[in-house]
Amino acid sequence: MLAATATRSAFYFHEQTLWFSAGQSALVVPVGGWVQPPASGGHADSPEPKSRTVSLASVSGLFNAYDRKVAPAAPREALLAIHPASYLDRLKAASDAGGGALHPTAPFAGGSYEIALLSAGQALAAVTDVAGGGRRRAYAITRPSGHHCLPDTPMGFCLLANVAVAVRAAQAKGRKRIAVIDWDVHHGNGTEACFYDDPSVLTVSIHQEGCFPPGRSGGVESRGTGAGEGFNLNVPLWPGSGHAVYMAALEHIVLPAVADFAPDMIVVVNGLDANAVDPLARMLLHAGSYKAMTEAVSKLADAVCEGRLAVVQEGGYSDAYVPFCAHAVMAGLAGVSDPVDDPFMGIVAAQQPGADFNAAHIAALKRHHSWRD
């Protein structure tokens, strides 16, 4: 168990966010036609990964390093910094009418609007807690997630742009330059769209190439537009990439770009679906990878923005493995050792790509990106 005197960060989570439902599906495909209703489980976005994350941190003693908080729903005025009123009204009307789907990849049940407000509220509180000087570090769990949501369209299980809303609120508190690092395995197209012409927010997405959204979203050529040109960075990685490639991309591409930007604070979109057993991707990270990435970003935050760092947990669909990966991130953020052994490490370590794959991929990354040794 961890000592109660460990450095404390804030942890934001609302139990009711686990009540969000995307309706009856088989993984991501709605039930009907040839798709048989599953006997158990259902939609990929289950509450289990996040529920089990909270349970694991409670049992392990990791919460001794955190002050646990429950934030209220995000207020409408905060949402309006990103979302037009017409979109919020459409979303609420559909929710009040029993649910539906304003986009095929983002179905939701009745009552989901209020739950989405609670989810956005946890991200908003964590980010503004750090921005306002109350904490150097904060962690939030959100559900539904937000990084695929466009200003006027839900997408990819996301109904509100949680982190984008929080970033605007942080800017209102005086943190004018903010870097967002998104290591969810799927391209952070929504966050990108929210700030694509804005030079005050550096958006970075490191993701599996061509995974989601379908098509070529997340290519290296997407660099921003107008005044925001050069302030969007995509780092697509080959399917099958593991610890070595991720750490190389982070240390030689992502972190130097963030350092050059000189942010007032850093926000991490902590998607955990690049783990080796996630059903919605084909990557090979383990819990130790996530702890190493978190520690690297924390070190940079200490160097460039007085340690101001907020982490918002979003994606991740393995009921079994997400809790261990999230636990590792939380330990890394709080600056404590992880008291939990990763039970999957032996399997995932044996599946890591070989030296030839890593060398070829790193050579390709060097051709397409500014690489710092």
Q: Is the pLDDT of residue 4 over 70?
A: no
Q: Provide the pLDDT confidence category of residue 3 given band limits of 50, 70 and 90.
A: very low
Tokens found for residue 330: 């939380």
Each residue of 112-135: pLDDT tens digit? 999 999 999 999 999 999 999 999
Q: Provide the pLDDT confidence category of residue 40 given band limits of 50, 70 and 90.
A: low
The mean pLDDT value for 200-211 works out to 98
Question: What pLDDT shows up at residue 5?
Answer: 29
Residue 1 lies in a domain: no
Residue 310 bridge partners (DSSP): 138, 267
The mean pLDDT value for 33-53 works out to 86
Cα-atom radius of gyration of the chain, to the nearest Å?
A: 19
- In DSSP notation, 183-248 reads --SS--HHHHHHTTT-TTEEEEEEEETT-SSSSSTT-TT----GGGTTSEEEEEE-TT-BHHHHHH
The mean pLDDT value for 357-373 works out to 95
Question: What pLDDT shows up at residue 1?
Answer: 39
Question: What pLDDT shows up at residue 199?
Answer: 99
Higher-confidence residue: 330 or 43?
Answer: 330
- Distance in angstroms (rounded) separating the CA atoms of residues 182 and 205: 5
Each residue of 141-154: pLDDT tens digit? 999 999 999 999 99
Candidate from 39-48, 83-92, 218-227 with smallest mean pLDDT: 39-48
Question: What pLDDT shows up at residue 301?
Answer: 98
The residues, any chain, with a CB within 8 Å of residue 360's CB and separated by 6 or more, are none
Residue 6 lies in a domain: no
Catalytic residue set: 148
Candidate from 72-86, 173-187, 213-227 with smallest mean pLDDT: 213-227
Question: What pLDDT shows up at residue 31?
Answer: 79
Question: What pLDDT shows up at residue 226?
Answer: 99
The mean pLDDT value for 7-12 works out to 86
Residue 4 lies in a domain: no
Question: What pLDDT shows up at residue 6?
Answer: 31
- 146's torsion region: left (phi>0), alpha (psi -120 to 50) or beta? alpha
The mean pLDDT value for 344-350 works out to 98
Q: Is the pLDDT of residue 270 over 70?
A: yes
Residue 198 lies in a domain: yes
Please identify which residue in the block is written with the tokens 């997407």: 222
Question: What pLDDT shows up at residue 330?
Answer: 99
Question: What pLDDT shows up at residue 41?
Answer: 64
Residue 96 lies in a domain: yes
> In the chain, what percentage of residues exceed pLDDT 70?
97
Q: Is the pLDDT of residue 217 over 90?
A: no
The mean pLDDT value for 9-21 works out to 96
Mean per-residue pLDDT of the chain: 95
98 burial (CB, 10 Å; 0-12 / 13-18 / 19+) is exposed
Each residue of 277-289: pLDDT tens digit? 999 999 999 999 9
Residues 255 and 297 sit within 8 Å (Cβ to Cβ): yes
The residues, any chain, with a CB within 8 Å of residue 197's CB and separated by 6 or more, are 224, 225, 226, 227, 228
**Residue 74's CATH number:** 3.40.800.20
The total of structural domains in the chain comes to 1
Residue 335 lies in a domain: yes
Residue 175 lies in a domain: yes
Q: Provide the pLDDT confidence category of residue 39 given band limits of 50, 70 and 90.
A: low
Residue 292 lies in a domain: yes
The pairing of strands 25-26 and 29-30 is antiparallel
Question: What pLDDT shows up at residue 35?
Answer: 83
Domain holding 170, by residue range, is 13-368
